[in-house]
A and B are shown apart, each in its own frame.
Chain A
Amino acid sequence: MSIKINHLTHIYNADTIFEKTALNDVNIEIQKGEFIGLIGHTGSGKSTLIQHLNGTISPTSGEILLDGENIHKDKTKLKEVRQRVGLAFQYPEHQLFEMTVYKDVAFGPTNMKLTEQEIDKRVKEALQTVGLSETVYDKSPFELSGGQKRRVAIAGVLAMNPEILILDEPTAGLDPKGRDEILYAIKQLHKQRGITIILVSHSMEDVAKLADRLIVMEKGHIAMTGTPKEVFARVRELEKIGLAAPQISYVITELKEKGYNLPEDIYTVEEAVKALYTLLKGEE
């Protein structure tokens, strides 16, 4: 399923003193199966943009096309849109409310009025995807650790079997282990099920490692878009809008200045390790 956004503008509190233009003439096209990294400084409009994609907020002007169809054309179909476009908000664990993990994940599928068997299948599948074992099914979600809670919440969205999954900073406030577990689960989803993923992140390292394409936002419009290599090559521009390239690329630049012969476009630790290894081996 592809998404196309045409001239999307969103103004909060229009015509009052609190008026704020959050999005200004945004145009994006996202193909089926892409892994998009959405980056931008705080207040650049990322959260507003993703909330448009599943129709939780309506545009002031412009349109959002899902497979060529405007999602606001038929209001009765919004529920279906929300099922197809799964959205996990920032700190999704704040939405947990049920007595047990199992019931909480089942909330979405139950709302879709699926059969009991189908619900059961989806809940188990979703919990397995995020790496939670059967031992937690009957626990209260509030007894779990922060990282586990978040995975339960993400499973709650996954259980609706969305074709597009949008995650708003899924790793914010987690310890390194919790972060790795979540990112791994997301990667698996993209690889195995071919789900289109939009990952909002403040971590350049994460998007460099995972995304096929980056969209950079600044003050409500799209500042850049391209592969991670293309975007991070424009590091000076990124710094101007309060972002940066992954830390490893600064290390590589320093090393190059010191006279080491390394390639330009290294943006992940893995690539750096490989390049340094070849270089050092060659010197021997």
Chain B
Amino acid sequence: MIRDITIGQYYPVNSPIHNMDARVKLIITFLFILTLFFINTFLGYVFVILCMSAVIKTSKVPLKFMLKGIKGILIIILFTAFINVFMTRGEHILFEWGIFTVTIEGILIAIKMCIRIVLLVVGSSILTLTTTPIQLTDGIEYILRPFKKIGVPAHEIAMMMTIALRFIPTLLDETDKIMKAQQARGADFDSGNLFQRAKSLIPILVPLFISSFRRADELAMAMEARCYHGDENRTRMNVMVLKSSDYKAVVILAIYCIALIILRFLAARFSFIW
């Protein structure tokens, strides 16, 4: 069960999306997320979903993996939907009950918000599933570099993220192992009330913290032993170079943005709410 968590998981296949420059992918994902907040019609979302399906198809990552991320935030989605349905004021009231009013506007907004969150998660999953953590953090470091002048520790941020991402699978394995070891000693994690269940986590959390500190200590030592001293005079093994396919991707993104602007303009023009 614990292996189902897919944050930062990379899916190793060879596809045009995998081969793109990480910096370009990062910027495209960022702009894509921005565009999601710009869309206000269902037609717009249909267009985005079509574009996204094309990208997923090109990436050769099974849809199942893309959608796995949604499972984890299902509660957030349901909560958002709930708040929007009951808290939105509007003209077309369906029914009222105490402080709760359900309006058609509320339902429409709730549906749009849910679509938006799902697209947001799947969009960022495409990035993490097709980019290795190392490429990703290198890309972030590169993008943040101009901000170093105003005191942003670009290299340190990137290094911290690399290490954090690197340790997600390790710590998951560790948790899995400790859980099994405590189960072998009769620990029970699935029954009892909330308080008992929280208490039953202690035998997992204590060893997990201890091993995290131990690993952190060992890693710091290993880095120092290899003369790591931050950003100064550090050269890279893989220098990032933009390829023609990256420029193509940028052009496609531009077309996508223009299409969205036109859609929005048309919707406003004909006061089209769908």
**Which residues of A approach B to under 8 Å, CB–CB?**
13, 16-17, 51, 54, 56-57, 79, 82-83, 86-89, 92, 94-97, 107-108, 111-112, 142, 156-157, 160
Contact = CB atoms under 8 A, between A and B. Distances in A.
B185 A111 contact: yes
B147 to A, nearest CB: 37
B180 to A, nearest CB: 4
Contact of B206 (A54, A97, A157): A97
B39 to A, nearest CB: 33
Interface string B201-216: 0110011001100000
Interface in B114-157: none
Nearest to B202: A97
Which of A17, A95, A107, A112 has most chain B Cβ within 10 Å?
A95
A51 to B, nearest CB: 7
Q: Which 4 A-B pairs have the closest CB atoms?
A: A111-B186, A97-B206, A108-B185, A95-B181
Interface residue SS majority, chain B: helix
Contacts of A107: 182, 185-187, 203
A16 B96 CA distance: 48
A57 to B, nearest CB: 8
A95 B175 CA distance: 10
12 contacts: A16-B62, A79-B186, A94-B174, A94-B211, A95-B178, A95-B182, A95-B207, A96-B207, A107-B203, A111-B185, A111-B187, A156-B185
Given A17-B13, A94-B211, A108 B178 contact: no
Interface in B175-209: 177-178, 180-188, 202-203, 206-207
A64 to B, nearest CB: 15
A156 B185 CA distance: 7
A97 B184 contact: no
A83 B183 CA distance: 10
Interface residues of B, number: 24
B242 to A, nearest CB: 28
A271 to B, nearest CB: 36
Contacts, number: 64
B42 interface: no
B178 A94 contact: yes
Interface of B: 3, 11-13, 62, 65, 174, 177-178, 180-188, 202-203, 206-207, 210-211
Contacts of B185: 82, 95, 107-108, 111, 156-157, 160
Contact of A108 (B11, B174, B180, B186): B186
A51 B187 contact: no
A89 B181 contact: yes
Contacts of A82: 183-186
Which of B13, B186, B203, B206 has most chain A Cβ within 10 Å?
B186
Contacts of B13: 17
B183 A142 contact: no
Which of B177, B178, B202, B207 has most chain A Cβ within 10 Å?
B177
B203 A97 contact: yes
A56 B11 contact: no
B186 A51 contact: no
Contacts of A157: 184-185
A142 B210 contact: yes
Which of A54, A89, A94, A156 has most chain B Cβ within 10 Å?
A94
B11 A17 contact: yes
Nearest to B64: A16
A198 to B, nearest CB: 14
Nearest to B214: A94
A16 B4 CA distance: 12
B178 A87 contact: no
Given A17-B11, A17-B13, A86 B207 contact: no
Nearest to B205: A97
A94 B207 contact: yes
A16 B3 CA distance: 13
Given A17-B13, A94-B207, A142-B210, A89 B186 contact: no
Contacts of A87: 181, 184
A214 to B, nearest CB: 24
Nearest to A79: B186
Contacts of B3: 13
A263 B202 CA distance: 56
B211 A54 contact: no
A104 B180 CA distance: 16
Contacts of B202: 97
B18 to A, nearest CB: 13
A86 B11 contact: no
Nearest to A47: B177
B190 to A, nearest CB: 11
